[in-house]
Structure 1
Amino acid sequence: MKALLVLPLLVSSFGFVRAQDALPTQVPGGTKLVVADQNEALQTLMQASGAQAKLSSAVSYANFLGGPAILEAFRAGALDLATVGNTPPIQAHAAGEQIPIVAARVSSETDYFLALRPGLKLSSLEELKGRSIAYGEGTGRQPFVLNALKLAGLTRKDVKLVPLRAADFPDAVRTGQVDVAALNEPHFSRYLADFADRGASALPKEQNDRLPKSLTYLYASKRALDDPAKAAAIRQFVAAWIDANRWSHRNVDAWVDAYYVKRQNLKHADGRKIVESEGAFEFPLLASLIAKQQSLIDVIHEAGDLPKRLDARQEFDLRFDDVIAGKTN
């Protein structure tokens, strides 16, 4: 209790320690981690890069599609760690779940692209007015759409937001159930290729570039971070994850073959275009992302999708900044 009195700013209202205690470094034999994956991208990256083989813990992957499903698995105590977009940590926070962010990857490009139903042509964000738009509350697509409306000078009252699961976005736009859907890769490129003969298109890139850039988080359960063995394993995983991402950009052809060709059944040329569209990656210190996360919280709160304004500082475990700094210096 004395630590809480002496260092109140270093402990979140959830109660997880953010900065004052050093992370354990020893991973005992037999330590296991269960990590959420999406579209098998993370496990392929870790294995193809060789980062997986260097981990001291036994890591298994569970495949999901979308942040809400991952959050439910965390609630059930079935996960230790997950890669997600910028919104799931906010939803977890709002729900009172303790799943602090332990690492982040920022791209020079956006996470999503605004795909248009076959035959529809729009040239600007402002032309979203009056359109039906797929809306995935609790996913990164949520603030992406809300920011698109805000930049266009529109509110949710100016459009029809259609609540859908992330897995249903591609079918919804290709069938015309919605006019617009925010798609990520490889779904976006696959949609444009498969329905080109029906006039599939997207909002122009210069319009998409007006939107916030890609932000991917690694977040972990408090239960796992409270376990010294698992906390040390997560520390090691964070460092390996950064290495694996850098490998993918130094070895583009190998990464494309391992994931986009063998896992996603795309042509090599199409996979390479996807990788090139992702831009350059950076791995910023978590402390530097608090303001950005707060702005996302505020956008969602202003739209009426959060019961109260949250404090972004409570969503990060800043102890991992030492790990990240060690990989970036």
Structure 2
Amino acid sequence: MPRNIRSRLGAALLALALLPALASCAEDDEASASAAELADVPIPEDVDPDTTLTIGAPESEVALKLSGLVDELPFRVEWANLSGGPECSEAFRAGSLDVCSAAEIPAIHARWTDLDTRLVAAVFREDPIANPLYEIGVAPGADIETLEDLRGKRIAFSPGQAQGTLVLRVLQEAGLTPEDVELVEMPSTGDVYPTALGSGQVDAAPIAGVNIRRYTDRYGSEGATTIAHGLRDDPTHLWVPATAVEDPEKAAAIREFIELWALAEVWVDEHPDEWIEGWYIEDQGLSRDDGEYLVEQAGRSDLPADWSDAIERHQQTIDLLAEETGNEPFDAEELYDRRFESVAADALGGAS
């Protein structure tokens, strides 16, 4: 049943935080001090070839293999078929994962649940407004043409996930509060949101990827549409447990991985046909038409040498989520290991 944001979102996140939040403030301060001290610790120039990283980044794994760059990794890799916040957080806690690909939200919730992690690389879309990850799906007959029209509407909501945070940001952009709408909590996996829209369970929902086109193809004759939200929704990071970058040998291996990861990102941009065939068709089981649509939607990658803007935007997200969930805001700088800041851009000749 739909409920108010403050009760549902707050309850969900506080439940996650319950056990870890028992850690004292003194312990949190100590972790922050350690992070600050780590910034001055040099990363070894050479990589021990016997070092092993366990990496959960399936898309990057395929890109590295298709491009042949995987053969240049100067250390041992064990690939883990997982990515995203919940899976990676669990693996980090178990000590079974060193690197993960994730958006900006998981690192925030890790901080609030006493899981010490760092972001070591960042990639964005070159034109994020023209090429967003998400659009706002509008149900047939919902009478929504602008973000302001969301007032009083039922919106699909997934607390603790990127889609849920996007909903909060969209409401903020429209000058609305969560109390001005009815948030309907449901998982954002698969085609749950398009189905909920088409069946009239909700009036609006953030939808992404092929679901954008599939939704309008399926329900467009009934009046289904999408509207642009006009916000950046594109951050993707390489995310690691703090223990990985505190280990000098692993830190050196992570640096080398970032360099090849960056080259693989550019390879994908420059080899769309191979990428469609190898990733979207062979690995993901999509059609060529779907793959071509997704490549066009994504645009090119941007790997900045300076994370200042990214950290500022991350801070805005932290502050928004803190206000809505009752968690304590914190400095976004604590999430980033800036020793790795220019590694990706330097690997590309400093052009990004």
Which category of TM-score, normalised to the shorter sequence, fits these structures? 0.7 to 0.9
Q: Compared with structure 1, are the counterparts of its residues 149 and 222 closer, same or farther at alpha carbon in structure 2 (3 Å cutoff)?
A: same
Pairwise CA distance, 1:299: 1.7
Paired residue for 2:292?
272
Q: Which amino acid aligns with 1:15?
A: S
Retained in 2: the 8 A contact 1:12–1:314? Answer: no
Paired residue for 1:89?
107
CA–CA distance in structure 1, aligned partners of residues 280 and 345 of structure 2: 31
CA–CA distance in structure 2, aligned partners of residues 190 and 259 of structure 1: 19
Aligned residues: 312
Within a 5 Å distance, the mapping from 1:227-242 to structure 2 comes to 227-242=247-262
Identity of aligned residues (%): 31
TM value normalised by structure 1: 0.85
Pairwise CA distance, 1:199: 4.0
CA–CA distance in structure 2, aligned partners of residues 45 and 178 of structure 1: 37
Q: Which amino acid aligns with 1:32?
A: T
Pairwise CA distance, 1:125: 1.1
Paired residue for 2:42?
22
Match of 2:71 among 44, 53, 70: 53
Of stretches 80-89 and 126-135 in structure 1, the one that deviates more from structure 2 is 126-135
1:149 paired to 2:165: no
Cα displacement string for residues 135-178 of structure 1 (whole angstroms, at most 9, x for unaligned residues)? 22222223211111111111111112223333264454455443
For the residue of structure 2 that corresponds to 1:231, the secondary structure is: helix
Cα displacement string for residues 274-316 of structure 1 (whole angstroms, at most 9, x for unaligned residues)? 11211232112234422121111112123x2241111111110
CA–CA distance in structure 1, aligned partners of residues 215 and 146 of structure 2: 20
Pairwise CA distance, 1:255: 0.9
Cα displacement string for residues 220-241 of structure 1 (whole angstroms, at most 9, x for unaligned residues)? 1112112222212211111111
Match of 1:73 among 91, 94, 104: 91
1:203 paired to 2:223: no
CA–CA distance in structure 2, aligned partners of residues 61 and 201 of structure 1: 40
1:136 paired to 2:154: no
Pairwise CA distance, 1:217: 1.2
Pairwise CA distance, 1:31: 2.4
Q: Which amino acid aligns with 1:179?
A: D
Paired residue for 2:9?
none
CA–CA distance in structure 2, aligned partners of residues 184 and 23 of structure 1: 38
Q: Which amino acid aligns with 2:208?
A: N
Q: Compared with structure 1, are the counterparts of its residues 82 and 253 closer, same or farther at alpha carbon in structure 2 (3 Å cutoff)?
A: same
CA–CA distance in structure 2, aligned partners of residues 230 and 73 of structure 1: 17
Within a 5 Å distance, the mapping from 1:124-273 to structure 2 comes to 124-167=146-189, 169-170=192-193, 171-193=195-217, 195-196=218-219, 199=222, 201-204=224-227, 207-208=228-229, 210-273=230-293
Pairwise CA distance, 1:259: 1.3
CA–CA distance in structure 1, aligned partners of residues 80 and 187 of structure 2: 18
Root-mean-square deviation over aligned CA pairs = 2.5
Q: Compared with structure 1, are the counterparts of its residues 52 and 121 closer, same or farther at alpha carbon in structure 2 (3 Å cutoff)?
A: farther
Pairwise CA distance, 1:68: 2.5
Paired residue for 2:62?
44
Q: Compared with structure 1, are the counterparts of its residues 166 and 64 closer, same or farther at alpha carbon in structure 2 (3 Å cutoff)?
A: farther
Of stretches 22-31 and 146-155 in structure 1, the one that deviates more from structure 2 is 22-31
For the residue of structure 1 that corresponds to 2:77, the secondary structure is: strand
Of stretches 105-114 and 64-73 in structure 1, the one that deviates more from structure 2 is 64-73
CA–CA distance in structure 2, aligned partners of residues 34 and 176 of structure 1: 43
Retained in 1: the 8 A contact 2:84–2:101? Answer: no
CA–CA distance in structure 1, aligned partners of residues 216 and 258 of structure 2: 34
Q: Compared with structure 1, are the counterparts of its residues 196 and 264 closer, same or farther at alpha carbon in structure 2 (3 Å cutoff)?
A: farther
Retained in 1: the 8 A contact 2:60–2:264? Answer: no
The answer for unaligned runs of 5 or more in structure 1 is 1-10
Pairwise CA distance, 1:249: 0.8
